[in-house]
Amino acid sequence: MESNNYQMAIDMLRCHLGLSEEEAKQQLGLTQQPTTETPSGTTQSKFPYQASSLMS
């Protein structure tokens, strides 16, 4: 399973940011991210940051 290679990163996101396992996987791009409609009709990611910016 691909997520086994990312388990440490998943655990870090869960512990330090309080994300669920599914949210952490979404941040790592392991699942398709849900999008929400904004009032202007544009789509926006549920999370305002990218996991890669947190790991640097």
pLDDT at residue 26, rounded to an integer: 92
| pLDDT < 70 regions, the chain | 1-3, 32-56
Angle value at C-alpha 22, between 18 and 23, nearest 5 degrees: 50
- Amino acid of residue 7: Q
pLDDT given at position 1: 53
How many Cα atoms are found within 13 Å in the side-chain-facing hemisphere of 4?
1
